[in-house]
Structure formats: C-alpha cells, structure tokens
C-alpha cells in the first residue's frame, strides 16, 4: 500500500514537472484557493443569519450572486479573448480578496450583498482563467489527466481546511459572528499572498487576436483600456473580434 502511494506520488510529480510553467502555477493557485475557500464554506450561511438575515434574505443574496455570474459569462469570455488572461486572472483574485474582506468587515447582513456580487464576479473571472490556462498549457494527450490532478489536489485541500476551521472557530469563541469573522480575515491575507504569487509567476500565453498596445503597457493603462471596452459594451456597441 505504501509502495503504491509512493509510486503514484512519483508519477504525479513527473507528470507535473513535464508540463508548462503556467500549469504548475494554476494548480498551486487552485489547491491553495480551495483550502482558503473551505475555511468558511460551511459557515457562510450561519454567519449571514447571525448578522440578521432571514431565510428569504439569505436566498435573495444567493440569487443575486448567481444572476451576476450568468450575466457576465459571455462578456468576460470575449474580453479575455481580446486582452489575454493574466490581467483578468489577477483581477479575479483581487475581487475575491475584496469580497472576502467585505465579509470580514460586514456590520450587518446587507453588507453581504456587495460581497456576494464581488465573489460572483471573481469566480467567473478565475474560472475562465483556469480553463484558458489548462487549454494552453496541457497537450491533448495529458489534458484529462492534468484537469483531474488539479481537481484531486483541490479536493485534498478542501478536506483538510474544515478541520482547521473548526479548531480556529473554537479558539475564537465558537459559532458566532465574532467566532467566524477571523476566518474571513485569514482568507483575505491568503488571497493577498496568492495575488502576489500569480503576479510574479504567471506568464501570458501567446494567443492570436489579442489587442496589442504599447510595447510595455502599465497595469493602470491596461485597465483604463478595459474600462473603455466595458463602457462600449454597455452602450450597445459590443461585437465579437
């Protein structure tokens, strides 16, 4: 049994090593992101109710998040095709950190609504980013294995984090607003570190059809250009590239 596990780990290590750099970055982000998300996953509803929401308001918050995610699916895909994945991946992680911070600072259940919107936006951006990175980084013969390995690592991380969360909540005072709130702060710090990791390590895949600006565009100018495109989408001038 021990030999089988050791052999499986060795084969997984060899598999990951021979893939592109971006794939290794993506599975690291996915595993750590899954760990952080599952620190509070089972407590999100409890926390929102403890802040004053009833069952109808809780359902409304969930519906708002789902609606936002559905509405932006196509525009996000189009913008990623136009501008590339790296800045959108970073934007998604930044929005995720912002949504978690809103949870951490929420004084009442109404403050959870903008947090839910930020989280819905971030999940769509990050999900699109993962799909593009896998498609670009994995050869056809390794694609299914690579995607399932990513899922496996994320699942292992998500199995561990609830145990740690339970210990932390007990240490912070039990299942209450004040007991759960510090977990969101921990998540915020974690996503900040992930943002820095992605900014330093993720490389833009070479893809045809993206808009090329100046030779060395700045982070601010990139998002100024994106804002212009989003405005044009809203005015009805959106069209595929």
Residue 187 backbone phi and psi in degrees, to 5: -60, -40
pLDDT level of residue 197 (50, 70, 90 thresholds)? very high
Percent above pLDDT 70 for the chain? 83
Q: Report yes or no: 57 and 109 within 8 Å, Cβ to Cβ.
A: yes
pLDDT of residue 214: 42
Whole-model pTM?
0.80
| pLDDT score, position 120 | 92
- Name residues whose C-beta falls within 8 Å of residue 230's C-beta, 6 or more positions apart in sequence: 75, 79
For the chain, the average pLDDT equals 83
At 35 the pLDDT is: 96
Name the pLDDT band for 241 (thresholds 50, 70, 90). Answer: very low
What percent of the chain is modeled with pLDDT above 90? Answer: 51
Residue 207 CA to residue 186 CA, distance in Å, equals: 36
CA 121 to CA 72: how far, in whole Å?
A: 8
Give tens-digit pLDDT for 69-86.
Answer: 888 877 887 887 777 788
Task: Kindly give the interhelix angle for 86-105 and 177-201, rounded to the nearest 10 degrees.
Answer: 160
Residue 12 above 50 pLDDT? yes
* List of long-range contacts for 129-133, beta carbons under 8 Å, 24+ apart: 129/26, 129/80, 129/85, 129/88, 129/89, 129/92, 130/26, 130/30, 132/80, 132/85, 132/205, 133/22, 133/23, 133/25, 133/26, 133/85, 133/89, 133/205
Q: Mean pLDDT lowest for which of 14-18, 60-64, 157-161, 206-210?
A: 206-210
State the alpha helices, DSSP H only, in the chain: 2-17, 21-40, 44-50, 55-71, 73-83, 86-105, 112-137, 143-172, 177-201, 219-234
Q: Which DSSP symbol is given to 237?
A: -
Q: pLDDT value at position 20? A: 85
- Do 119 and 65 touch, CB atoms closer than 8 A? yes
In the predicted structure, residue 158 carries a pLDDT above the cut 90: yes
Over the stretch 126-147, which tens digit does the pLDDT of each residue have?
988 888 888 888 888 888 888 8
Residue 230 has what pLDDT?
Answer: 44
Max Cα distance, the chain (Å): 62
- Enumerate domains of the chain plus CATH numbers: 21-205+214-234 (1.20.1250.20)
**Locus of tokens 């699942």:** 155
CB 204 within 8 A of CB 85: yes
Structure confidence at residue 43 as a pLDDT band (50, 70, 90): very high
More confident residue, 55 or 235: 55
**In the predicted structure, residue 51 carries a pLDDT above the cut 70:** yes
Confirm if 147 and 155 have CB atoms less than 8 A apart: no
**pLDDT for res 2:** 52
Q: Which residues contact 26 (CB under 8 A, 6 or more apart)?
A: 129, 130, 133, 134, 137, 150
Tell me, what's the pLDDT at 84? 79
User: By the 8 A CB rule, do 100 and 191 touch?
Assistant: yes
């Amino acid at each position: 049994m021990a030999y089988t596990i050791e052999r499986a780990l060795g084969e997984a290590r060899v598999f990951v090593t021979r893939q592109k750099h971006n794939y290794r970055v993506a599975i690291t982000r996915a595993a750590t992101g899954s760990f952080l998300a599952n620190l509070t996953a089972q407590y999100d509803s409890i926390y929102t109710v403890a802040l004053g929401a009833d069952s109808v308001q809780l359902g409304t918050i969930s519906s708002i998040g789902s609606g936002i995610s559905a509405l932006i699916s196509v525009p996000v895909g189009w913008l990623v095709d136009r501008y590339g994945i790296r800045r959108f991946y970073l934007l998604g992680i930044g929005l995720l950190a912002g949504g978690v911070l809103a949870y951490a600072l929420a004084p009442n259940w109404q403050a959870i609504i903008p947090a839910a919107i930020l989280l819905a936006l971030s999940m769509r951006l990050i999900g699109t980013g993962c799909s593009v990175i896998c498609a670009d980084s994995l050869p056809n013969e390794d694609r299914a294995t690579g995607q399932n390995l990513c899922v496996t690592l994320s699942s292992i991380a998500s199995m561990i984090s609830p145990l740690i969360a339970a210990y932390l909540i007990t240490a912070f005072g039990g299942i209450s607003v004040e007991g759960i709130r510090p977990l969101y702060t921990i998540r915020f710090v974690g996503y900040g570190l992930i943002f820095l990791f992605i900014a330093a390590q993720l490389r833009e895949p070479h893809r045809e059809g993206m808009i090329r600006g100046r030779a060395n565009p700045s982070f601010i100018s990139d998002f100024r250009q994106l804002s212009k495109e989003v405005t044009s989408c809203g005015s009805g001038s959106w069209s595929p590239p």
